[in-house]
Chain A
Amino acid sequence: MKAKRILAAVAACAMIFGALPALADDQGPPHPPGETAQVYSDPLAPFNEKMFWFNLKLDHYVLHPVAEGYAAVAPIPVREAVGRFFDNVNFIPRFANNLFQLRLADAGGEVARFGINSTVGVAGLFDPADHWFGLKESRNDMGLTLGHYGIGQGPYLVLPVLGPGTIRDDVGYAADSAMWPLPYFVPWYVWFPTDGGKFVIEAVNYRSLHLDLFEQVDRYAIDLYGAVQDGYLQRRASQLRRVNE
């Protein structure tokens, strides 16, 4: 029932945003000089900027200090193993979206990776699928699937906590999150705190492995918001080019 409702919501969003022009969607591989790339339109900028600075403060006062403390007690190999564990657990959307895009070899590879790494790889803490069998992870998500089938990305949108995205990518994120099985099997007072904890630990662990992430960007940025916005949009455009190949 819940899944059906979500699918209906996704379909509705797809119809609405499919009609929107794609913003800078096909900024192919860099143009020869003289052809200047188009400038992004950012209709939600006033909201986005507020959320961007909120997220930056949240990171500065909460996430970064916590990640730093965590990094001080947990050595890098441990944190990398934790990262691999979550990566392994989150395999369903990767598998599903490879399947949706008919990337059957990648979808099959994801199943094999999950099987190998969950068992031989000790619940995903290690990655023997890559090291022994050369099976690399095939990153994919619903935002890319929607883009693959020609749905425009809609306006750029910065959400509190979740960070930069586009309407399409955020809808995709909601759909991918709905593939997480726990809420379908246990009552809410079990899955809600569990998933909350998972979200927080994942975020802290990731930040602990990239402690100077913002500092590196900020050091060379004239306008931090613009740098992050363009970095996000260029990265997604290049991922979409990859799945469209």
Chain B
Amino acid sequence: MKPRAKSTILLNHRLLSGLLATLLAFAATSQVKAMYADGGPMETTQLFVNQALKIMADKQTPVADRQRQLRQVIEPRFDFTEMARQALGPHWRALKPNQRQDFAEVFKGFMESAYLSKIGEYSGQKVEFIKQSSLGDGYAQVASNILQPSKPSIPVNYLLEQKDGSWKVYDVTVDNISIIQNYQNQFNRVINEDGFDKLLADLKAKQRQLASSSAG
């Protein structure tokens, strides 16, 4: 009986350590999976776009509530400061720190009002994700199509950077036209002609206009 007991113990021991190893391995892989689900540029983009579509499709909830939900979904996924910096191009360097902060804030408000004003226009379009590709270390591009019934689909690409362990959008291209680059050209013209303060005022005015057009 004795050797057998010993072998049982041994077996148990082996079983246990085997089980432990499996558990550990499982935990590790599931952690990797979780990291992947939260971390890949494609998964990140897919996640927030699908959440946003769901909110836009939910016509029962009042617009104001849906706008708040949408903002909660979008905000953590966009790097608005980086967008603001790029949209100013060479002018950013000439600004004082407090001017930069002012501008980043106003620009963020403007961009938010712009996408929130889209909420009423949504009519069931679907989005298909095509691929992700690397744009160099820490940068990625996710390609998608907005599918419209009986019309050509619109290619939309998201440009993401890895920051503090998560992927954040810093530019979006629609039909291969970069939104940030487009604003950069506009802002450059306004600053050169009428100065930085005029640009701030124009952005604020446009933001109010967009916000009031989507509230009703």
List the B side residues contacting A220 at CB < 8 Å.
114, 206, 210
A60 on the interface (CB 8 Å rule)?
no
A32→B139 contact, CB < 8 A: yes
A–B pairs, 16, beta carbons within 8 Å: A27-B181, A30-B135, A30-B178, A30-B180, A36-B92, A219-B210, A220-B114, A220-B210, A222-B183, A222-B202, A223-B187, A226-B186, A227-B185, A235-B175, A235-B177, A238-B177
List the B side residues contacting A39 at CB < 8 Å.
89-90, 184-185, 188
Which residue in B85, B92, B159, B184 is a CB contact (below 8 Å) of A37?
Answer: B184
A33 on the interface (CB 8 Å rule)?
yes
A234→B176 contact, CB < 8 A: yes
> Closest A-chain residue to B178, C-beta based?
A30
B182→A231 contact, CB < 8 A: yes
> Closest A-chain residue to B193, C-beta based?
A223
Q: How far is the CB of A175 from chain B (nearest CB, A)?
A: 25
Q: How far is the CB of B173 from chain A (nearest CB, A)?
A: 6
**Bound-state Cα–Cα, A230 to B175, Å:** 13
Q: Which residues of B are at the interface with A, using a C-beta cutoff of 8 A?
A: 79, 82, 85-86, 89-90, 92, 114, 117, 135-136, 138-139, 141, 157, 159, 161, 170-171, 173, 175-178, 180-190, 199, 202-203, 206, 210, 213
B186→A36 contact, CB < 8 A: no
List the B side residues contacting A229 at CB < 8 Å.
185
A190 on the interface (CB 8 Å rule)?
no
Q: How far is the CB of A225 from chain B (nearest CB, A)?
A: 7
With A29-B141, A33-B82, A222-B199 as given contacts, are A227 and B182 in contact (CB-CB < 8 Å)?
A: yes
**Bound-state Cα–Cα, A29 to B183, Å:** 16
Which residue in B117, B135, B185 is a CB contact (below 8 Å) of A32?
Answer: B135
A40→B185 contact, CB < 8 A: yes
Which residue in A30, A223, A226 is a CB contact (below 8 Å) of B159?
Answer: A30
Which residue in B90, B173, B187, B199 is a CB contact (below 8 Å) of A30?
Answer: B173
List the B side residues contacting A219 at CB < 8 Å.
117, 210, 213
List the B side residues contacting A234 at CB < 8 Å.
176-178, 181-182
**Bound-state Cα–Cα, A62 to B175, Å:** 29
Top 7 A-B pairs, shortest CB-CB distance: A238-B176, A226-B186, A230-B185, A223-B186, A226-B189, A32-B139, A36-B89
A58 on the interface (CB 8 Å rule)?
no
> Closest B-chain residue to A40, C-beta based?
B185
With A32-B135, A36-B89, A235-B176 as given contacts, are A223 and B181 in contact (CB-CB < 8 Å)?
A: no
Q: How far is the CB of B155 from chain A (nearest CB, A)?
A: 10
A221 on the interface (CB 8 Å rule)?
yes
Q: How far is the CB of A92 from chain B (nearest CB, A)?
A: 24
Q: How far is the CB of A196 from chain B (nearest CB, A)?
A: 30
With A33-B170, A222-B187, A222-B199 as given contacts, are A231 and B161 in contact (CB-CB < 8 Å)?
A: no
